[in-house]
Amino acid sequence: MVYYVHLFKGMREPSILSYQMEKAEEIRGLWKRVVILLLISMLLSAIASYYGVGLGFLAKEITGIPQQELEAKKLIAGIGKIIWAAGFGAFVLFGWSLILWALIDLQYKKLVVIQLFVLVILLLEKAILLPFSISLGIGSEFSPFALGVVAKYITSNLIVIHLLSHLSIFKIWVIVFQYICMKRMSEKNPKIILLLIICVNLFFWVVSTLLSYLKIESLL
């Protein structure tokens, strides 16, 4: 059976996707979608950088350096964010799949296909949050779709705030989507699969939290 990658159809019907992936002997359209999603990830970061999202640390230098030098620093920082976005997308597709491949008995290429849909969900979250960041100047840690906002009123600990900011409806969607797809494709106990998926996602949340915290601390 030949499986043709259709991103939006697969997102709407993950159970049908898992059935098709289970039977698939050949996968077509994968690399084209990989390139498209990486370009979208870079585009979203380019738009964010254009409007100064995530470049607040340069505000400290507005009065200290010439305008031309400030613009050069903005450009360099923006390029760095775009490269980071490409690296992030590649890691979600290939690095995350490698970890899941080591834990769950599934073909690596099929895991990459599943992660394509995961990346779509994460990019959708970023795209929806972008207008809030541009118009209101809020960061991802204060997303209205996550618990970071609630955490802000409970504690002033930045690590806790950033960690809870990763617990959004989109991240829950990722876990549910991965579970629906993998439980049918794998012979492992569904409870073990769910536990492994949650642990891997939690690991990435913790790593992202530490990176966000260290970034903030280095700019103080």
DSSP string, 5-46: --HHHHHH-HHHHHHHHHH-SEEESHHHHHHHHHHHHHHHHH
For the cut 80, the answer to whether the pLDDT of residue 44 exceeds it is yes
Helix or strand holding residue 4 (H, E): strand 2-4
Q: What is the mean pLDDT of residues 14-33?
A: 86
pLDDT at 218: 38
Tell me what pLDDT residue 161 has.
77
DSSP state of 2: E
- CA–CA dist 196, 217 (Å, integer): 31
Q: Would you place residue 217 in the very low, low, confident or very high pLDDT band (cuts 50, 70, 90)?
A: very low
Per-range mean pLDDT, top range of 25-34, 128-137, 147-156: 25-34
> Mean pLDDT over residues 162-184, rounded?
89
Entry pTM: 0.88
Report whether 191 contacts 181 (CB < 8 A).
no
Contacts from 124-129 at CB under 8 Å and sequence distance 24+? 124/170, 125/168, 125/170, 126/41, 126/44, 127/44
Burial call 58-90: b when 16+ CB within 10 Å, e when fewer:
eeeeeeeeeeeebeeebeebbeebbeebeebbb
- 2 pLDDT tier (thresholds 50, 70, 90): confident
pLDDT for 27 beyond 50: yes
Residue 7 has a CB neighbour count (10 Å cut-off) of: 16
DSSP category for residue 63? T
Tally of CA atoms within 13 A in the half-sphere of 106 that contains its CB = 31
Question: How does strand 2-4 pair with strand 26-28?
Answer: parallel
pLDDT of amino acid 220: 37
Place of tokens 């970023």: 126
Can you give the pLDDT at residue 216? 46
Distance CA 83, CA 97 (A): 21
Q: Which long-range contacts (CB under 8 A, 24 or more apart) does 181-184 make?
A: 181/14, 181/17, 181/18, 181/21, 181/114, 181/117, 182/18, 182/100, 182/104, 182/106, 182/114, 183/18, 184/15, 184/18, 184/19, 184/22
Distance from chain centroid for Cα 151? 21
